[in-house]
Structure 1
């Protein structure tokens, strides 16, 4: 076969084979990766496929991710205690962390040893009282035609729990909840031991040109979380002690347990306050009208004190989260991820707020630099 090239069109050449003209395509095929256009489209496809795969991976691993984030919250609390102790004790970080952990353990163990029998009995009594009062309320509402005939407060509770979203297998049983709590505490302890190591590890996962910005952002996130947790713990202590003392003075049954519940639920603003108020009023009215009114007044007084005195004072040194934003985030995250999502909704909102503020700040800086 003789081949000659004559007057080739773009990307083509003309060959002759036994007197016949044959058009031969020159250059890379559109299906070859060596073609610049193909490489560009291939990169775009890889990016989109990577985003889809990342989203699928997050959906599959969302519960472990939430547990890790909860561990970070525990580490933040411990780190705050270590930093606070460092102002008065010039010793190594490891020793200060050990002191903080031992003090926390002694407080929890001492509380249950001193009041364990009383708390156990009051919790059993509280469950019976709440169920009885709930059934009375359901019967009255049914009699008034406000709600349809039901099997009692237990059925309503199950329906309400179903509306909050699915519960994770990690917290579906008492054993799962205990295991999850152990994982969270252990992770928090490990994170608090050497936070700089984990911070540097995260920075290594970011491109070199983005590491400075990433380091500034996570540093601000850590500061915000420490302030938020300090405010939450202060509010929890104040609300629990005040509730216990006020209910004890008014003769409300199970004052100690209600104080503990008020302190624990104070970690979840808005929703926790409503749950605490419902329990206090139900228990109060089980002992009489006057006791119920006292319980309702106590709840209103404690919430007013917490909202108008404790929160404003603490808010000066903590993150400013609008109540509507936190409540919306709690509803959304609890519907998606269940109980764990409800607990970590506020810290998650604070972290996202810091990231968005830093991004906006960087955009403003670039705009000023461009204008200059």
Structure 2
């Protein structure tokens, strides 16, 4: 009996080794492909967000009017094209002119700040140390020139967003085709749960997107009006910059506020505090009043996790990674909660002792 079973053990062990090696090789290959194709995947995800942005007003028109979904989509796309054309003809030129002025004002503000710093304790030594690595105003002027060139090409032809727009349009025109294609790859016994998960993901990302658009609009309008009332030049340009930077949580508002503070400092050092109070008040309204009200149905992203994802994607894909870091984090949290925590671990799998179980039950009662 033992002789008949002895030859099977090496083959069984060898088979397991090969299976483990294949799994490890597959994981390495998948991670390598994800790393090499990170920007492509992020562009596809940005296209999905664009499709969602188009589908939200389309579905609303289809539900509340006599129009079919196809005609609702035509109305939405026509409205977006009209708004874009009006923006290009009546607004973009003035915005670019103001940004050109801002690219001249900010380096002068840096020079003025360096002169003021030389009168501070240890300020002269700090400025001398910075000048060894290049003039701050020259570096800022070079960076602004590059950004101005990018903005000019974007306003002129929108070349940098063509891929995202077309992906969004094709998915928005026939969303059921892509949804059925994804469900066809899932085993039949899990398709119903996958449909529910896809609806939840769409709902969460929709609320996040609505919240971001509302926040961007409110922050841009309040910033522009506030700077205009304070007599700060380039109020239109700085308001537009604040609205655009609001799409990037944590880092975007800081960059927008820094540009406004430099412009204010170049005009009047006393206006610096007025601008700082203005931006602080607007961010307080946006963070504690507007965003919680609009995004009450969205995923609540922990700030530390969001910053970590922003840094990682920023290093991998630059500005594109920063732009999609927040919605990608929200998507990941939903998938981990539903597929891993609830699907794989199951209810009651996390608490490992009666004490932790009772503690989690008390916490749920508290919520």
The TM tier, using the shorter chain, reads 0.7 to 0.9
Counterpart in the other structure of 1:10: 3
Is 1:58 aligned with 2:34? Answer: yes
Equivalent runs, 1:114-263 vs 2, <5 Å: 114-138=90-114, 141=117, 143-146=123-126, 148-150=129-131, 151-153=134-136, 178-263=158-243
Counterpart in the other structure of 1:286: 266
Comparing 95-104 with 264-273, greater Cα deviation is found at 95-104
Distance 2:211 2:335 in 1: 20
Distance 1:350 1:158 in 2: 36
Distance 2:109 2:141 in 1: 17
Counterpart in the other structure of 2:365: none
Partners of 2:103 and 2:141 within 8 A in 1: no
Distance 1:88 1:251 in 2: 44
Counterpart in the other structure of 1:80: 56
Counterpart in the other structure of 1:309: 289
Is 1:336 aligned with 2:316? Answer: yes
Comparing 110-119 with 255-264, greater Cα deviation is found at 110-119
Distance 1:154 1:222 in 2: 45
Unmatched runs of 5 consecutive residues or more in structure 1: 1-7, 13-25, 162-170
Distance 1:223 1:350 in 2: 11
**TM-score, normalized by length of structure 1?**
0.79
Coordinate RMSD, CA, aligned: 3.2
Unmatched runs of 5 consecutive residues or more in structure 2: 145-149, 351-367
Q: Shift in Å at residue 220 of structure 1?
A: 1.6
Return the structure number with greater helix share.
2
What SS is found at the alignment partner of 1:305? Answer: helix
| Structure with greater Cα Rg | 1
Aligned length: 333
Partners of 2:99 and 2:237 within 8 A in 1: yes
Distance 1:217 1:114 in 2: 43
Counterpart in the other structure of 2:279: 299
**TM-score, normalized by length of structure 2?**
0.80
